[in-house]
């Protein structure tokens, strides 16, 4: 991601292989993210090897943000 992005809570999880952000990714309370078993999260620019991104993820006790691996 190279532009600011917001992920809102949905009825189904976001399913991703990799997340790479060199901008701002905001993850709202109650959001669920499922990673491919070989996927991951990278904050920055892999090519330039710089940490240029930011993730804002503030869940609550009633609406936690969940990061998990996809079950096949």
pLDDT digits (tens, 9 = 90+) for 46-65: 666 666 788 899 999 999 99
> What percent of the chain is predicted at pLDDT more than 90?
39
Q: Could you tell me the CA-to-CA distances from 30 to 37, 41, 47, 71 in Å, in that order?
A: 22, 19, 32, 20
Instruction: Count structural domains, the chain.
Output: 1
The C-alpha atoms of residue 62 and residue 60 are separated, in whole angstroms, by 5
Q: Mean pLDDT per segment of 10 residues, for the chain of length 72 residues? A: 87 86 89 88 70 86 93 72
pLDDT at 50: 64
Of 67, 71, 70, residue with least CA distance to 27: 67
> Domain containing 39: what range?
5-69
Q: Are 36 and 72 in contact (CB under 8 A)?
A: no
């Amino acid at each position: 991601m190279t532009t600011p992005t917001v992920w809102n809570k949905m009825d189904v999880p976001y399913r991703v292989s990799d997340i790479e952000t060199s901008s701002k990714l905001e993850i709202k309370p109650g959001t669920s993210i499922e990673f491919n078993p070989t996927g991951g999260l990278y904050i920055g620019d892999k090519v330039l090897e710089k940490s240029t991104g930011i993730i804002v993820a503030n869940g609550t006790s009633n609406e936690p943000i969940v990061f998990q691996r996809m079950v096949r």
